Structure 1
Amino acid sequence: MAATLCGKLLPQKGWLPLTQSVRHGSKAVTRHRKPMHILKQKLLAVTRYIPPKPAHPPGAYPSQADMLKEEEIPLMRLLKRDVEAVFRDCKMVAVAQNNGSTSDGMIMLQHRFHKHGIKIKFFPNQVMRSFLSESIYGGMAPLFLGPTVLFTSKEPKVKEMLATLRVSPQMVLLGACVDNTLLSAQGLASYARLPSAAAVQGELLGGLSAPASQTGSLLQRHPARLTALLQQYAAERAEAEETS
């Protein structure tokens, strides 16, 4: 039996092994992918399809206004009431941007404004935008970006305010609400050049009284001329009688 196994396992004449190692020649890869042109990359980036976002049903998410109302704190409500009182009691509310004014410069500006009855007030921009979005002064909301200051007065003191701001270049006037009218910085300059109310009233009274005086002089012209002619005729007749 051992001889039989050995005869089966030993390689016979013409027998080849089951595994053969074949050696192939390795060849270096010399071709690389050509990079895409920059213009083509830009064109593909611009024309790439962007699928639209799925629209959520109404009421699924709270609106921004509801979120602001939920986050509104008692201090914010108190400041909004103060802002409402300012717009209700003051005929001039001007907005200026504070470009690095020092505390001493602010005190000096406040002292100069106090001589003309103008006050300086500070309110957070979030409070101002929240109040303006619900009021008729919504056009002033874009002015409240960055550090802003309010100049308020119960009477429109535009000329005095502009004259005082000339010595404070750190304060850049953005716009104002004067007599419930929104004005830009150029509009405020034009408003300051207008004559005072007393001068306008005097011109109006003069214009109204001029036609009345002219009418009176026209009505008196013919009777006066007739009287002069009659007096001249009487004098000539008396002279003629004396000579005869």
Structure 2
Amino acid sequence: MHLLKQKILAVTEYVPPKRPFPPGAYPSETKRVQEESPFAILLKKQLEKMFQDCKMVAVVQNNACNAEDMLTLRHRLYKHGITVRFFPNPVARSFLSSSVYCNMAPLFIGPIVLFVSKEPKVKQMLTILRASPQMILVGACIDNTLLSAQGVVSYSKLPSITVVQGELVSGLTMLTSHTASLMQRHPVHLSALLQQHVKQQSSDDSVEEAT
């Protein structure tokens, strides 16, 4: 009977609840997941500056390009003012998903490198890529326009701004010259008509006097 009483008392003993930790003592799981490392924040700032400064940002997939080939590739690109940049895919997708370039985020799958330049050097980049089959162009942002790989090829076939400006100036010069010629021709033609009219009038007057 004494043993049974001890068991009952043990089962029915009051156990006070544990005191909760004060708010803010430990970060929540959600906050811990969402927080980014200082290094990731630094990389995102570099990405933001890169997109602001560079008119060409090409996304290229690296299919087992060895260190020596990559060094040669970087050197050839650098001659044309094109730089090779590396960013972790999660950091790149995180930056892109909250920017105006969000449609580029799906391109960052697998081993990715970026070819960037302050001015679009599309023809030079494509020429170098043709000599590096292990590097595959998957897309690019050129002049704030997202292009597929085929779109980049089509862009490279467009005439340069210098050529377009030259053709425009040539066309305007020709138009101005033609307009000036027309403006000069009409007064001369009018003067000739007036002289002819005066001669004809004088001839008619002479005939009338003779009769």
The TM-score normalised by the length of structure 1 is 0.64
Question: C-alpha displacement at 1:209, in angstroms?
Answer: 3.1
Give 1:139's aligned residue.
Answer: 103
DSSP-derived class of the 1:117 partner: coil
Partners of 1:81 and 1:226 in 2: CA distance: 71
Partners of 2:188 and 2:98 in 1: CA distance: 69
Partners of 2:150 and 2:47 in 1: CA distance: 25
Q: 1:195 aligns with which of 159, 177, 183?
A: 159
Question: C-alpha displacement at 1:226, in angstroms?
Answer: 4.8
Matched, 1:130 2:94: yes
Partners of 2:97 and 2:39 in 1: CA distance: 18
* Letter in structure 2 aligned against 1:98: N
Question: C-alpha displacement at 1:224, in angstroms?
Answer: 2.7
Bigger CA radius of gyration: 1
DSSP-derived class of the 2:68 partner: helix
Q: 1:69 aligns with which of 16, 25, 34?
A: 34
User: Percent identity at matched positions?
Assistant: 58
Aligned residues between the structures: 174
DSSP-derived class of the 1:155 partner: coil
Q: 1:207 aligns with which of 153, 164, 171?
A: 171
The TM-score normalised by the length of structure 2 is 0.74
RMSD, matched Cα: 2.5
Matched, 1:164 2:128: yes
Residues 3-24 of structure 1, C-alpha deviations (whole Å, 9 max, x = no match):
xxxxxxxxxxxxxxxxxxxxxx
Unmatched segments (≥5 aa) in structure 2: 1-27, 203-211
Structure 1 residues 94 and 68: alpha-carbon distance in aligned structure 2, compared to 1, 3 A threshold? farther
* Letter in structure 2 aligned against 1:173: L
Unmatched segments (≥5 aa) in structure 1: 1-60, 238-244
Structure 1 residues 226 and 203: alpha-carbon distance in aligned structure 2, compared to 1, 3 A threshold? same
Question: C-alpha displacement at 1:139, in angstroms?
Answer: 0.4
Higher relative contact order (CA 8 A, sep 6+): 2
Matched, 1:120 2:84: yes
Structure 1 residues 78 and 222: alpha-carbon distance in aligned structure 2, compared to 1, 3 A threshold? closer
DSSP-derived class of the 2:132 partner: coil
Give 1:150's aligned residue.
Answer: 114
* Letter in structure 2 aligned against 1:110: R
